[in-house]
Structures are given as structure tokens and as C-alpha cells.
């Protein structure tokens, strides 16, 4: 399988504090990678670096072979690419946020159609049809005209997934997408994500849903203090953790509370 996302020696600092310490990993096409770890481990920051919602100072990210965010000029200096180029790269990645971040002044349909119309230049009528299809795919065909405020959290998050899918992305990034949901609404969102895994979508999923990770992810990656501590096939990783930190993390999880 070809590599969709390459991450090489990625390092990031907030002032003097280093929050990512030389992360290196690849995400293959069709792979569902789950990133777990305690809060403050840098997992969300890593995800946000992939589509450059966070800047990073060292290392390199490539999407389908093309460098994200920065390029190296003739003199070997690292320069930030233009906003237009960065925007074009971001359009290849779908992002779903913890707090949904739907546009409150637009209907579900317009939320989904905005990207295709404004970024891809799809004609409005065609984009609206596609948007309807996307909403049907996440089980919300009847909510096309609803505004975000009229939808439950689970429905909003499914619209957000449809919005990202409408861009026909090469990969999808999920940032703790079920953390802000009431427990009874989590399943409907995970169902949609499971479906995407089965359809072969490339996905990077930051989550606390261990059962989901174990059942559907191809690989799990455990981060702590800005480093990858351990990774592997989820079932093996969770049943037979090697590092003390992952052991402690999993133990706390089983006991029912998180750090």
C-alpha cells in the first residue's frame, strides 16, 4: 500500500516547552490509525500539525508525497509556503473537531456544500446534490435544512463528518470527536466512522474510545509527553503493553477514570 501521510522527525515548541519530540510515522492508504495517550501528551497537537492548524518548527510532513506547509529554498532555508498552497493542501485532508465547529448561520446542507462550492469550484446545483448524498451517507438525509442549533450533538458531529467527506479527501483526521457528546450519542458517530474504515478511508483518529480502537483500527499509537512510546496492532497493544507508561495508562482506563 502506498503511503498517504508521512511524518518525519516532527518537533514543535510552545516557547521553550517542547510539545512534540521528533515524531516519525507513516499512515498507509486505507489504514485507520488510532492515537491514544493522556491529556497533554501532544496527540491533538500532532493531528493539528498534519493540516497545519498548528505550525511546527522541525521535521517534515508529506501528504501523498507533497510537503505540507514548508518547503526548502535554494539556499537550504526552510520557508513557509503561501497561504494559497497551504489551503490547497488542507483541502486534501478532512478534519473533524471535538466541538463540531459547524457554521451556525448555515443549514446542514450549506455547511456540507460550502467547501465544494468555494474551494473545488463545483457548480452550486451539483454541490447541493452531492451534499444531500453525503448527508444520506451519515444517516441525516431528512436534516438537510436544519441549522446546527436544531440538531443534537451526535447529529451535528455527523454533519461535520459529511462536510469533511464532501471534499473527497485523501485522508480524514478525527480529533476526539466523541468527547463532547452525551454517552448515548457516541454510538451513532462511531457507527459512521466504522463504516468509513470498512470503505477503506485513510484515517488518523485521536480518541479515548478504546473499544472502538480495538475493534476497528489497524494500528494504535500510544503517545506520552510528546513522544511515541509504543505502537502496534491494537488488540496486542492493549492486552500486552510493554512500557510501564502504557501499562499505567491502560490500568487507569480499566479502573474507569482518566488522568
Partner 1 sequence: MAVDFTFLTRVAPALAEGLTNTLTLAAAAIVLAAAWGVPVVMALLSRYRTVSGLAQAYVEVVRNTPILVLMFFIFFGSGFAGYPLSGFVAGLIALVLQNGAYAAEIYRGGIRAVSQRMPEAGMALGLTPRRSFGLIVLPIALRNVIPPLSNQGVMVIKDTSIAATISVAEITFKARLLADSTAAVFEIFFTLALFYLAITAIFSGAMRLLEWRVRIA
The answer to whether residues 112 and 141 touch, using CB atoms and an 8 Å cutoff, is no
Question: Can you tell me the distance from the alpha carbon of 132 to that of 113, in angstroms, rounded to the nearest whole number?
Answer: 9
53 binds partner 1 (CB under 8 A): yes
Least distance to partner 1, CB of residue 105, Å = 5
Q: How far is CA 88 from CA 84, 132, 150, 236, 237, in A?
A: 6, 24, 32, 38, 36
Contact with partner 1 (CB under 8 A) among 37, 42, 69, 115: 115
Q: Is 165 in the site for partner 1 (CB under 8 A)?
A: no
Q: Which residues contact 251 (CB under 8 A, 6 or more apart)?
A: none
In terms of Cα–Cα distance, which of 48, 2, 46, 36 is closest to 170? 2
Strand order in the sheet with 171-175: 93-96, 171-175, 202-206, 32-36, 219-224, 227-232
Smallest gap, in angstroms, from Cβ of residue 61 to partner 1? 15
Q: Min. distance of Cβ 101 from partner 1 in angstroms?
A: 4
Which candidate, 205, 160, 179, places its Cα nearest to that of 46?
Answer: 205
**What letters, b where the CB count within 10 A reaches 16 and e where it falls short, cover 92-112?**
bbbbbbbebebeeeebbbbbb
| Closest distance to partner 1 from the beta carbon of 53 (Å) | 6
**Contact in structure between 166 and 185 (CB atoms under 8 Å):** no
Give CA–CA dist 153/161, Å, rounded.
Answer: 12
Choice from 3, 25, 101, 214 touching partner 1 (CB under 8 A): 101
Tell me which of 1, 72, 79, 119 binds partner 1, using CB under 8 A. Answer: 119
Nearer to partner 1 (CB atom), residue 149 or residue 211:
149
- To partner 1, the closest distance from the beta carbon of 81 in angstroms equals 12
Using CB under 8 A, which of 13, 18, 29, 91 touches partner 1?
91
Residues 168-207: x where in contact with partner 1 by CB under 8 A, - otherwise, as a string: ----------------------------------------
How many residues of this chain bind partner 1 (CB under 8 A)? Answer: 30
When asked if residue 87 is in the footprint of partner 1 (CB under 8 A), the reply is yes
Per CB under 8 A, residues contacting partner 1 are 51, 53, 83-84, 86-88, 90-95, 97, 99, 101-105, 114-115, 118-119, 147, 149-150, 163-164, 167
Amino acid at each position: 500500500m502506498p503511503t498517504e501521510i508521512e511524518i518525519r522527525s516532527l518537533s514543535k515548541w510552545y516557547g521553550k516547552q517542547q510539545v512534540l519530540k521528533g515524531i516519525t510515522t507513516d499512515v498507509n492508504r486505507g489504514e485507520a490509525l488510532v492515537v491514544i495517550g493522556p491529556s497533554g501528551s501532544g496527540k491533538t497537537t500532532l493531528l493539528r500539525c498534519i493540516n497545519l492548524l498548528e505550525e511546527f518548527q522541525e521535521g517534515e510532513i508529506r501528504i501523498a508525497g507533497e510537503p505540507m506547509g514548508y518547503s526548502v529554498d535554494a539556499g537550504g532555508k526552510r520557508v513557509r509556503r503561501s497561504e494559497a498552497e497551504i489551503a490547497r493542501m488542507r483541502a486534501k485532508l478532512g478534519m473533524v473537531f471535538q466541538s463540531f465547529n459547524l457554521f451556525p448561520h448555515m443549514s446542514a446542507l450549506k455547511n456540507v456544500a460550502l467547501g465544494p462550492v468555494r474551494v473545488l469550484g463545483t457548480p452550486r446545483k451539483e454541490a447541493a446534490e452531492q451534499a444531500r448524498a453525503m448527508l444520506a451517507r451519515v444517516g441525516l438525509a431528512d436534516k438537510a435544512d436544519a441549522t446546527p442549533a436544531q440538531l443534537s450533538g451526535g447529529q451535528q458531529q455527523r454533519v461535520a463528518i459529511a462536510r469533511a467527506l464532501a471534499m473527497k479527501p485523501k485522508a480524514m483526521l478525527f480529533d476526539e470527536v466523541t468527547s463532547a457528546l452525551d454517552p448515548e450519542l457516541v454510538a451513532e458517530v462511531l457507527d459512521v466512522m466504522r463504516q468509513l474504515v470498512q470503505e477503506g478511508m485513510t484515517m488518523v483518529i485521536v480518541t479515548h474510545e478504546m473499544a472502538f480502537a480495538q475493534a476497528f483500527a489497524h494500528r494504535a499509537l500510544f503517545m506520552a509527553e510528546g513522544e511515541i512510546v509504543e505502537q502496534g496492532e491494537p488488540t496486542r497493544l492493549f492486552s500486552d503493553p510493554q512500557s510501564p507508561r502504557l501499562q499505567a495508562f491502560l490500568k487507569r482506563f480499566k479502573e474507569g477514570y482518566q488522568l
